[in-house]
Structure 1
Amino acid sequence: MHGDRPETQGQALRELAIVQQLATTRLNRALKPLGLTMTHTSLLFHLLSCPDGASIGEIADAMEVNQPAVSKTVGGLAERGILTVETAPGDARRRTVRLTGQGHALLGQAMAAMHPDATHVFAPLDDADLASLTGLLARLRTHLDATRA
Structure 2
Amino acid sequence: MVSEEGCGDLLAGLHDMGAVIRVIKRDMPFTGHRAGLALLMTLRRSGELRIGRLACMFEVDQSVMSRHVADLEERGWIERVPNPRDGRSWYVRLTPDGERVAEETLGQVRHLLATALADWTDEDVAELSFLLGRLRHSFDAHRAHRAATVVKGHR
TM-score per shorter chain, which class?
0.7 to 0.9
| Alignment partner of 1:27 out of 24, 28, 32 | 24
1:10 equivalent in structure 2: 8
Q: How does 1:1-149 map to 2 (within 5 A)?
A: 5-19=3-17, 21-31=18-28, 33-51=29-47, 53-88=48-83, 90-92=86-88, 94-149=89-144
Unaligned runs of 5+ residues in structure 2 are: 145-155
Letter in 1 for 2:22: T
1:18-64 Cα shifts (integer Å, max 9, x gaps): 21x22222222233x4313542222112212443x222111001111
Q: TM-score, normalised by structure 2?
A: 0.76
1:56-106 Cα shifts (integer Å, max 9, x gaps): 1110011111112211111111000000024546554x3321110111110
Q: State percent identity of aligned pairs.
A: 29
Total equivalences in the alignment: 143
Give SS of 1:97's match: strand
Moved over 6 A (4+): none
Give SS of 1:98's match: strand
CA 14–38 in structure 1, closer or farther in 2 if over 3 Å, else same:
farther
CA 126–87 in structure 1, closer or farther in 2 if over 3 Å, else same:
closer
Give SS of 1:137's match: helix
Whole-Å Cα distance in 1 between the matches of residues 26 and 132 of structure 2? Answer: 24
CA 12–124 in structure 1, closer or farther in 2 if over 3 Å, else same:
farther
Letter in 2 for 1:40: G
